[in-house]
A and B are shown apart, each in its own frame.
Chain A
């Protein structure tokens, strides 16, 4: 290789300069025998320092590994212990008017025998509980070592409905929110007091039906009647929603074939007061039935029809229904407040 001579100006593109050997290229480390005692002692100290550093770093790493290991081990240890403790029967806690019992819970959860608490999939069990439409809300809680607490809020029925074809019909209960459910654990006597819903079309959904629309208004009427005019409510047999959407009318049929029409948009307490007033004063004509329309406000038409027409249903004149006004108006004083009822 040619190097530029002194004072020669060079073109930089052609430059390739070798580095001269420098004193730094000399290898400094020496053998132990060439070291003095002080040097050896320094080397030992340096080595010890290195070992200490490695030990400290190693110790920290080992500690971290042990901690992570113990954390990892802690999680599986609980089920191992829990597996040895079979779970007790699940404990059901319902709302104060709840009717569901432990037998229902056992049927619903279908837990295998001697299952341990930590083997349970709470989400799946909760879904199972909520699958029964009688249950409004549910929460499942593990109480170690062996208890499972199931807390539910139940729906209360306000009416009942018969669904299905003739011969395969089944009765369902209807809650305030319109949800239909089979009903489990209710007193049959209480069920018998519930009026039947009629005049509605149920839309299927999954294995059941969609909630009944505007049921909250019907429920309000029924609850008000139960509270304020229980003697009247007791005679209610059917509640027809046929004209609820079209005319905002709820039609009640009593056991003595009286038909009462309530206006869904009017205050039910006032209408119930009017009804009570009418029912106390109406003429009891044998062989007839009455139709009382409370949906018109202060004007309450009352129609009297012969029962025979109801029985035959064939007479055209009866089908038409001749209306005979019975009361035209109520005294204002009788409508002043609920308290009068």
Chain B
């Protein structure tokens, strides 16, 4: 990246709210200088269902962030989530070309290209190629394998792909504000990058971001993302369950969830009731607390079980020594860490932003946007491996004019 100051907007378009953070990046340091928030409309489970409403609310958040920052955003890193996102693993191996068996950049490039070259079904597009560590003659190499001697070079990629129209809709919402989306980052990678430390990622950790409409998760092993996934279930389902179970409006159910919802049942007394508002106003009602806890805990356990099932054999308590880290707005549900610990059989805790993050951005609702900024910047400046697509001078010039 150049030394010129760039104003980056990290945009998370969630089901319940849209968060925008403005980062000032001078090529070396990143400072957060603005914030914008807006209730989300026209979005369900990470999918645009009403373009106008989604655009208006997103642009409102962008304008608010620009006003707060006092600067115009130059480009956007956009968080991507949604049930349409899927992932698969593909690996490839090549015989080392050089006669002295020393691995050259060409070998690395070839094996990477091969591992990424899996044809996708029509209408699907790659969102992320997440590389797992290289192996030389079966031995794991954490860094670059260049100049290491061996006969066979292996690498695997976890490829995340999504539906083209859904991805395009998200991009066009941002482009409708005349801004270019420079990076599309999985919401799970963004939030996971923020709430886990490098050490945890090295030992193995599962980060689960429970939002309003979706739950994104990423499993780290050997310091790198191993498996990602999206479950189209989130906090709104908890609210919906309460609404149906207790015959309430969504607003009241949401209120009950926030005040009395738990991920595990702690109330033993079935007759113990709680007031909806507690202000003795006309219309205020009482509800059995155990019932509330039973409804929310059932949904929470089910959600965590689904995540575990989706992870399949990739997850095992032995390979996830650092346990489970929970984040996202719904992670504020009481007892959810205990529930996660029981479901996964490993320690679990609520994710916290690093200590250098200011107090007003430490809420779990900002973890994704924060992670977007840092993950996006590092992804741009530290490309793990040079690719054929972006390395040529001609491509660089083309980009220069495209982005001008």
Q: Which residues of A contact B239 (CB under 8 A)?
A: none
Q: Which residues of B contact A69 (CB under 8 A)?
A: none
Interface contact A34-B176, CB-CB below 8 Å: yes
Interface contact A46-B184, CB-CB below 8 Å: no
| CB contact between B125 and one of A8, A26, A35, A39 (< 8 Å): that residue | A26
Identity of the chain B residue whose Cβ is nearest the Cβ of A15 in the assembled complex:
B110
A43 in contact with B95 given A20-B119, A22-B125, A22-B126 (CB within 8 Å): no
Interface contact A23-B91, CB-CB below 8 Å: no
- A30 to B: closest C-beta gap in Å: 5
- A309 to B: closest C-beta gap in Å: 108
Q: Quick check: is A315 within 8 A (CB to CB) of the other chain?
A: no
Interface residues of A in 1-26 (CB under 8 A from B): 3-4, 6-12, 15, 17-23, 25-26
Q: Which residues of B contact A23 (CB under 8 A)?
A: 125-127, 162, 167, 171, 184
- Complex interface bits, B184-210 against A, C-beta within 8 A gives 1, otherwise 0: 100000000000000000000000000
Tell me, in angstroms, the Cα distance from A42 to B179 when the chains sit together: 9
Q: Which residues of A contact B171 (CB under 8 A)?
A: 23, 26, 28
- B131 to A: closest C-beta gap in Å: 14
Interface contact A7-B93, CB-CB below 8 Å: yes
- A36 to B: closest C-beta gap in Å: 4
Interface contact B97-A26, CB-CB below 8 Å: no
A29 in contact with B175 given A9-B94, A9-B152, A20-B117 (CB within 8 Å): yes
Interface contact B94-A10, CB-CB below 8 Å: yes
Q: Quick check: is A38 within 8 A (CB to CB) of the other chain?
A: yes
Interface contact A36-B59, CB-CB below 8 Å: yes
Chain A: interface secondary structure?
loop
Interface-central residue, A22, A34, A36, by most chain B CB under 10 Å: A36
Interface contact A10-B126, CB-CB below 8 Å: no
Interface contact B177-A3, CB-CB below 8 Å: no
Q: Which residues of B contact A7 (CB under 8 A)?
A: 91, 93
Interface contact B125-A10, CB-CB below 8 Å: no
A17 in contact with B117 given A23-B127, A25-B125 (CB within 8 Å): yes
Q: Quick check: is B55 within 8 A (CB to CB) of the other chain?
A: yes
Tell me, in angstroms, the Cα distance from A23 to B168 when the chains sit together: 8
Q: Which residues of B contact A26 (CB under 8 A)?
A: 125, 164, 167-168, 171
Interface contact B91-A6, CB-CB below 8 Å: yes
Tell me, in angstroms, the Cα distance from A36 to B179 when the chains sit together: 12
Interface contact A11-B95, CB-CB below 8 Å: yes
Interface contact A30-B164, CB-CB below 8 Å: no
Q: Which residues of A contact B72 (CB under 8 A)?
A: 42
Q: Which residues of B contact A42 (CB under 8 A)?
A: 72, 177-179
Identity of the chain B residue whose Cβ is nearest the Cβ of A47 in the assembled complex:
B178
Tell me, in angstroms, the Cα distance from A25 to B123 when the chains sit together: 12
Q: Quick check: is B270 within 8 A (CB to CB) of the other chain?
A: no
A20 in contact with B120 given A36-B177, A42-B177 (CB within 8 Å): yes
Q: Which residues of B contact A35 (CB under 8 A)?
A: 175-178
Interface residues of B in 33-90 (CB under 8 A from A): 51, 55-56, 59, 62-63, 72, 90
- Complex interface bits, B169-181 against A, C-beta within 8 A gives 1, otherwise 0: 0011001111111
- A227 to B: closest C-beta gap in Å: 86
Q: Which residues of A contact B388 (CB under 8 A)?
A: 19
Interface contact B178-A43, CB-CB below 8 Å: yes
Interface contact B114-A15, CB-CB below 8 Å: yes
- Complex interface bits, A34-65 against B, C-beta within 8 A gives 1, otherwise 0: 11101110110010000000000000000000
Tell me, in angstroms, the Cα distance from A287 to B160 when the chains sit together: 141
Q: Quick check: is B25 within 8 A (CB to CB) of the other chain?
A: no
| CB contact between B95 and one of A9, A18, A22, A28 (< 8 Å): that residue | A9
Q: Which residues of A contact B177 (CB under 8 A)?
A: 35-36, 38-39, 42
- Complex interface bits, B146-160 against A, C-beta within 8 A gives 1, otherwise 0: 000000100000010
Tell me, in angstroms, the Cα distance from A13 to B55 when the chains sit together: 49
A10 in contact with B389 given A26-B168, A38-B177 (CB within 8 Å): no
9 contacts between A and B (CB under 8 A): A10-B94, A15-B94, A20-B117, A26-B168, A34-B172, A35-B177, A36-B177, A38-B62, A42-B178
User: Which 7 A-B residue pairs are closest in the complex by CB-CB distance?
Assistant: A42-B178, A39-B177, A17-B117, A17-B113, A9-B93, A36-B59, A39-B178
Residues of B with Cβ closer than 8 Å to A?
51, 55-56, 59, 62-63, 72, 90-95, 97, 106-107, 110, 113-114, 116-120, 124-127, 152, 159, 162, 164, 167-168, 171-172, 175-181, 184, 388-389
Instruction: For the A-B complex with A39-B177, A40-B178 known, give 19 more contacts whose Cβ atoms are closer than 8 Å.
Output: A4-B114, A8-B92, A9-B95, A10-B94, A10-B95, A12-B95, A15-B110, A15-B113, A17-B116, A19-B113, A21-B120, A22-B125, A23-B127, A28-B180, A29-B175, A30-B172, A30-B176, A34-B172, A42-B179
